[in-house]
Chains A and B, each alone.
Chain A
């Protein structure tokens, strides 16, 4: 097959490309230029493009750079900023995958005559044969599983997607990279959202947002007593479920329950107060088709969060076996049946 592989400049996509060549595919590489702003030390920086190009040269394949910066700003960065301004906790990587990587990039690959797009994500696309629609499964290495950020995909995309490294563990990926003499074998994984400069703690994200919106100090109000128990310097930076960074002594164990930017208030409470029956979901997607209310799934609310049994409702899900921690509004919830992704939604 003619395959377009997305090379990010990291070791996973480098090995993905190498594996595709081993499998006999006709491979071309492309790197997406998404960001080039002031924080250009995150993923997809100029250095990353250079790394990707060197890997392509090493593998003997053509390399191109696609400029999707404008759409990235419109579909990923601006909504990220807006979500924070509303006190929500967005997941930009999910939106990037939804709009850029597996829509615009995939559409371009197909228009250019490629049979499939490939990336270095740790997840698996499998099919039992011609009549069986493709399935999206967790990656073999559960510690590195990235199915969560791919949970918005449907069979339309999956039927044209190859994920070569999903069967390997991370150490195996690095070993392959070393064996192939790839320049990126020892390159550390990027940890932060790509358009925020690397750095410890919340500092970099706060600095990024500070350049785009006004951040307001807020008060922490105890749900039980209604008393103001503390302050935060930026209410837009607080995440529901957060305990650290609220400036409260650990003796109190107070968690953020709600963030109300309009009144610059964060309602705090005990860990029990965080418990809720379920979560309402918007922007729901289904891999093959909508599943009926009552279907039991495993719900995962963060990249490596604990999946919790839940039952689908008409507008979201209800936890099974008792209430569970609430999900921060704006977070993606990935829905699984065993190790297979069945759908996704965004916490309302």
Chain B
């Protein structure tokens, strides 16, 4: 086990990040060399950059079911989430979020004195608890579309309806970072007022994302979002700083490719994840799925393994050429038990036996077969 490249690596950690698709790389390259302009200038080079920015904005907006003017480019999903939550918070008790949100939503929510709404054992938000928590103080409710650790889909439409009924002044934010690669967010998040996406989760580069801020014309009142970054007037004064033009262009290209391939990719992911999970169930005793298959997107497979620690399983899988992950990393790089599983009522001891294998658009049958073999070998080795 030394730092030498392996012959064949099966990458099943797409929920953590995805390789850039060819379209995104091709779209990005010119902007790393000739297209270096700052879109805020007035000369030809600046205007060329601005043109590219505008085009990308329009493309992405279409794919997110938004107007171009509703798109705020950010440095990624985390910034988009922070902008939504901190941007709408107005003192303690004004923000609600689910217990299974990504830390990029949980942390700013807690920092703003917000409240957490629990989930049930399936990992789905407790709608009764949400209804109870909604009052006229609430300014923002944040519920993700798809959970990154379990793949569980939240009933966003129901959440929106509940919020409109009980806290009509509140906005709904959805973290669609995990969802965008697999679901038509334009349709599924149509009712949400704020939507976050992150390029590197759908074949784009790291360091760029977007927040949809719907103009609120339909609700008769403009959305007042307090900016996180103040400085220049970029992004209609919602997010200062020279835009990452190359990144944004790549993001739009990736989004385009994803939208084009999504249906076929989802079908393939369903077949392949079924093959993987059924194969494991048959060959490896004492392994169970964390969530019901119907409750989640097919690409994310969260498994609990009896008698084996996730940390060790990941190491052995890595040795066997399979990349997977578990829980979340803490500042030191060590794995912490998944707060999502804990919120679902699992004990810490149990949570530390869960691993996540997440498929990508390019995952093949051969990948799955290799992973299946490796998984069986690894578990056997560690149980010996």
Interface residues of A (CB under 8 A from B): 2, 26, 28, 31, 33, 36, 46, 49, 53, 60-62, 64-67, 69-70, 108, 111-113
Of the listed residues A31, A49, A67, the one surrounded by the most CB atoms of chain B closer than 10 A to its CB is A67
Bound CA span A28–B315, Å: 12
Is residue B135 contacting chain A, with contact meaning CB distance below 8 A?
Answer: no
B77 to chain A, nearest CB (A): 23
Q: Per-residue CB proximity of B290-323 to A under 8 Å, as 1/0?
A: 0000000000000000000101100110000000
Q: Which residues of chain B are within 8 angstroms of A112 by Cβ–Cβ distance? A: 312, 315-316
B311 touches A36 (CB 8 A): no
Q: Which residues of chain B are within 8 angstroms of A111 by Cβ–Cβ distance? A: 312, 381-382, 384
Q: Per-residue CB proximity of B1-36 to A under 8 Å, as 1/0?
A: 111000000000000000000000000000000000
B331 touches A46 (CB 8 A): yes
Q: Which residues of chain A are within 8 angstroms of B381 by Cβ–Cβ distance? A: 111, 113
Compute the total of residue contacts between A and B using a CB distance below 8 Å. Answer: 48
Q: What are 15 A-B pairs with beta-carbon distances under 8 A?
A: A26-B1, A28-B1, A28-B2, A33-B334, A53-B333, A61-B3, A62-B1, A64-B315, A65-B333, A66-B311, A66-B334, A67-B335, A70-B348, A112-B315, A113-B381
Is residue B336 contacting chain A, with contact meaning CB distance below 8 A?
Answer: yes
Bound CA span A53–B334, Å: 12
Task: From B1, B334, B382, give the contact of A67 (CB < 8 A).
Answer: B334
Q: Which residues of chain B are within 8 angstroms of A53 by Cβ–Cβ distance? A: 333
Closest B residue, CB atoms, query A28: B1
Closest A residue, CB atoms, query B349: A70
Bound CA span A344–B140, Å: 60
B14 to chain A, nearest CB (A): 22
Q: Which 9 A-B residue pairings sit nearest by Cβ, starting from the closest?
A: A67-B334, A33-B334, A65-B334, A49-B332, A65-B333, A46-B331, A33-B332, A46-B332, A28-B1
B333 touches A49 (CB 8 A): yes
Given contacts A28-B1, A67-B336, 9 further A-B contacts (CB under 8 A): A26-B2, A36-B332, A49-B332, A49-B333, A60-B2, A61-B2, A111-B381, A112-B312, A112-B316
Is residue B330 contacting chain A, with contact meaning CB distance below 8 A?
Answer: yes
Q: Which residues of chain B are within 8 angstroms of A65 by Cβ–Cβ distance? A: 332-334
> Contact residue range for chain B?
10 to 19
Bound CA span A26–B309, Å: 24
Q: Which residues of chain B are within 8 angstroms of A108 by Cβ–Cβ distance? A: 309, 312
Bound CA span A53–B382, Å: 25
Closest A residue, CB atoms, query B384: A111
A67 touches B2 (CB 8 A): no
Task: From B3, B331, B334, B348, give the contact of A62 (CB < 8 A).
Answer: B3
B351 to chain A, nearest CB (A): 11
A2 touches B332 (CB 8 A): no
Bound CA span A266–B296, Å: 62
A67 touches B311 (CB 8 A): yes
Bound CA span A119–B353, Å: 27
A215 to chain B, nearest CB (A): 30
Q: Which residues of chain B are within 8 angstroms of A28 by Cβ–Cβ distance? A: 1-2
Bound CA span A60–B4, Å: 10
Closest A residue, CB atoms, query B332: A49
Closest A residue, CB atoms, query B311: A66
B169 to chain A, nearest CB (A): 39
**Residues of chain B in range 365-384 having any CB-CB distance to chain A below 8 Å:** 381-382, 384
Q: Which residues of chain B are within 8 angstroms of A26 by Cβ–Cβ distance? A: 1-2
Q: Which residues of chain B are within 8 angstroms of A61 by Cβ–Cβ distance? A: 2-3
Closest B residue, CB atoms, query A70: B348
Q: Which residues of chain A are within 8 angstroms of B333 by Cβ–Cβ distance? A: 49, 53, 65
Q: Which residues of chain A are within 8 angstroms of B330 by Cβ–Cβ distance? A: 33, 36, 67
Q: Which residues of chain B are within 8 angstroms of A113 by Cβ–Cβ distance? A: 381
Q: Which residues of chain A are within 8 angstroms of B1 by Cβ–Cβ distance? A: 2, 26, 28, 62
Q: Per-residue CB proximity of B331-345 to A under 8 Å, as 1/0?
A: 111111000000000
Q: Which residues of chain A are within 8 angstroms of B311 by Cβ–Cβ distance? A: 66-67
Bound CA span A108–B308, Å: 11
B309 to chain A, nearest CB (A): 8
Q: A67-B311, A111-B382, A113-B381 are in contact. Are A62 and B332 (CB under 8 A)?
A: no
B35 to chain A, nearest CB (A): 35
Bound CA span A66–B312, Å: 9
Bound CA span A108–B2, Å: 18
Of the listed residues A26, A60, A61, A62, the one surrounded by the most CB atoms of chain B closer than 10 A to its CB is A62
Bound CA span A36–B1, Å: 28
Task: From A31, A60, A69, A70, give the contact of B3 (CB < 8 A).
Answer: A60
Bound CA span A31–B316, Å: 17
Bound CA span A26–B311, Å: 21
